[in-house]
Amino acid sequence: MDRKLIIAIFLAGFLGSTIGVVGTLSAQKLFFSDSPPGQEVIKKEEGPVISVGEFTVNLQGGAFLKASIALEGMNEKSEAAITAKDAFIKDRINTVLSSKSLKDMQPEVREDLKHELITQLNEVTGNQVQSIFFLSFVYQ
């Protein structure tokens, strides 16, 4: 074989492979994008995380729960509002948790518990709580 022919075949193969890879990546980005075209993804602003402590409560039916809880505020100003209402927040958390039974502590319904706590705490803080985190969660 002629040396020029081998170089031409090699370059054609390399160029074809490069075009194939670039085309595949472009098509993937175009057709399998996470968000629809023209829409940009809106990132949720992360607020300050404030620890409210550990809670040990008797559940309905004789079981008990021990949980460490932290709250995420809406923004930097939320931390002061949440800290100022510390006693009210702890009281509301104790009230909600002690009204629950052992079946309400199961992992599959724990998100419902979080939503209920967020609703109750937002009544106290004037909608300053964005999320709640169970740092530890032990029930028996």
Instruction: Write out pLDDT tens, residues 112-139.
Output: 999 999 999 999 999 999 999 999 999 9
Beta bridge partners of 71: 50, 132
List the one residue out of 49, 52, 71, 56 whose CA is nearest residue 138: 56
Q: Is pLDDT at 39 greater than 60 in this prediction? A: no
pLDDT at 50: 93
Q: How far apart are CA 30 and CA 17, in angstroms?
A: 20
| Distances 135 to 25, 36, 67 between C-alpha atoms, Å | 41, 36, 7
| Distances 132 to 33, 66, 74, 89 between C-alpha atoms, Å | 31, 16, 11, 12
pLDDT at 16: 78
pLDDT at 43: 60
Domain ranges of the chain: 1-40, 49-139
Q: How far apart are CA 12 and CA 56, in angstroms?
A: 72
The length of the chain is 140
Q: How far apart are CA 84 and CA 71, in angstroms?
A: 14
Q: Which CATH class is domain 49-139?
A: alpha beta
